A and B are shown apart, each in its own frame.
Chain A
Amino acid sequence: MNDMPANDSMVEARSLTKRFGEFVAVDAVDFTVARGEAFGFLGPNGAGKSSTMKMIGAVSPVTSGELRVFGRDPAADGATIRARLGVVPQENNLDTELPVEENLYIYGRYFDLPRPVIQERIKELIEFAQLSDRAGAKVDSLSGGMQRRLTIARSLINEPDMILLDEPTTGLDPQARHLLWDRLYRLKQQGVTLIITTHYMDEAEQLCDRLVVMDQGRIVAEGSPRDLIAKYSPREVVELRFPVGEQEQALAQLDGLAQRVEELPDRVLLYTDDGDHTAVEVHARGLLPESIVVRRSTLEDVFLRLTGRTLVE
């Protein structure tokens, strides 16, 4: 590890930009990822998260700006960088013609690991991925959650210093997601640096120590989930649902009830420091919403505040 920069950062990006022809996918972003950190890119589809990940993964050339991964330039030292990375792409690209164990084996060979070392790691990784009883099974026969865990296990075959996870739980059912989060949490505790892209705010809150909010290729905010919420959103939210057609009319009567009012197509959000108190006031004004829910502010609210749009549309 003598090639680490003095400040011990795993990734440093300055004015990092990616263009595809006229289209600017990543627009001059700055960020730093520290060793051992779980760092997130939160944003909707098309925000530039995956493009950023591919540049960090040294499989997509930087258009302009500066990028250092492990203190190295991906353009010059791509193979050296990739040797120390684990990559979990958005779409599983497991070898469907091979059984579980052999997927791990050939991947280890791509890293030029000696056979006995790979065999040793396969045992541990299959256990880690909770696939012990499916070691000889064809990939096609695995459930979505199992395939995802296998992809994560595969990314660990070279004992990477940093793992890039692109939308790790998209498309999984809640149970499979929690199982996966548990695995990722274990990696984090082992000191592995994680970089995660997600458009799920609960995932970002669960996993990330620090994150940047991305929208249309730009970083619009940065901080820990807790700091971002504290900075951009009052503590609580009152969600009101009105009968169809009555929302417009009700909106006029909500003036002054909250610090901020957001109107969504299907509900109204009142941002306030005391949700229960605000809910009482809503009733006091003679309003009769179909439902009224008081909850804490989340990253979803931060995103809505920063971009005027919801994360998952």
Chain B
Amino acid sequence: MTTPGAVRYFEARARTYRHTWRGTVISSFANPIMFLAAMGLGLGTLVDDGSAGAVAGISYLSFLAPGLLAATMMQSATSDSAWPVMAYIKWLKTYDAVLATPMNVRDIVAGHLSFIAARMTFIAMVFTFIAVAFGAYDLPRGLLAVLPAVLTGLTFGAVVMAYTTRLENDIGLSNLFRFGIVPMFLFSGVFFPISQLPDWLEPVAFITPLWHGVQLTRAAALGIPTRIPAFVSVAYLVILTVVGAILAARWLQRRLVS
């Protein structure tokens, strides 16, 4: 007996996922791979042959793949902490059902984030095998890159969960994607180094969690140095994750146990 509450919540989410995973195949698996094929293989040929030559002496496919992996983690984890959390708070009231048992909000938050970590690991593995098959990088380095990629996902999962607990409706979620996730996807060093950005925009890219995730994942996958020390980026993501989780638990408690 006495399995930790977070583990039991994780178990419930995993069980639910067995019934809902089909709905995630396109966004979590197919789309990233289509991006990798179109941009990495298609556009990449032009970039590599163009006047600029390969970015930083690396083929565009190799440059793109780790960045795309980190961005996929951001998007998938953000989705997991957006509409489903909103539904469990407000539309389906699943959290109320959970909290009527001996479970508490910390169990919910820890279990939710553990499940995100597991799902992100699975998505990242699938992506890595395909990137390796495309010739973006080799397998051992690719597997190493899964770690910072999953950390990136976890950061977004925690911060977005905290954000969602404060919303009254899902307009805030659409805005999160419109004004947060999509700009980060485009301008945080996934498709081109942020040194290419206008001078005033570069510091903005610098504070986005995605840029730190991208630089860590890219460094791990390609064996190249990071622009700022890796431990700074790791610490930044870990701190954001912890703060996000603590706030998510606090705000969920305030909202549901009132």
Contacts and interface: CB of A to CB of B under 8 A. Distances in A.
B98 interface: yes
B15 A57 contact: no
A98 B98 CA distance: 15
Contacts of A95: 12, 16, 92, 94, 97
Interface residues of B, number: 27
A82 interface: yes
Nearest to A117: B1
Given A93-B92, A110-B8, A110-B103, A98 B19 contact: yes
B98 A112 contact: no
A97 B17 CA distance: 9
A119 B1 CA distance: 15
B257 A60 contact: yes
A93 B15 contact: no
B253 to A, nearest CB: 10
Contacts of A79: 102-104
Contacts of A12: none
A91 B20 CA distance: 23
Contacts of A57: 100
Given A93-B92, A93-B93, A95-B94, A110 B257 contact: no
Contacts of A82: 100-102
A93 B99 CA distance: 11
A299 B6 CA distance: 46
B97 A93 contact: yes
Contacts of B51: none
Given A102-B15, A106-B11, A59 B92 contact: no
B196 interface: no
Contact of A110 (B16, B20, B93, B101): B101
Contact of A59 (B5, B9, B94, B99): B99
B1 A110 contact: no
A289 interface: no
Given A59-B257, A158-B101, 13 more contacts: A20-B258, A60-B257, A61-B257, A79-B102, A80-B102, A95-B94, A97-B19, A97-B20, A105-B15, A107-B101, A110-B8, A111-B101, A114-B1
The 7 A-B pairs at the shortest CB distance, nearest first, are namely A93-B93, A110-B101, A87-B100, A79-B102, A106-B12, A93-B97, A83-B102
30 contacts: A59-B96, A59-B100, A59-B256, A59-B257, A60-B258, A61-B257, A79-B103, A79-B104, A82-B101, A89-B100, A93-B93, A93-B94, A93-B97, A94-B97, A95-B92, A97-B16, A98-B15, A98-B19, A105-B15, A107-B97, A107-B101, A109-B11, A110-B8, A110-B9, A110-B12, A110-B98, A112-B3, A112-B5, A112-B102, A114-B1
Interface of B: 1-3, 5, 8-9, 11-12, 15-16, 19-20, 92-94, 96-104, 256-258
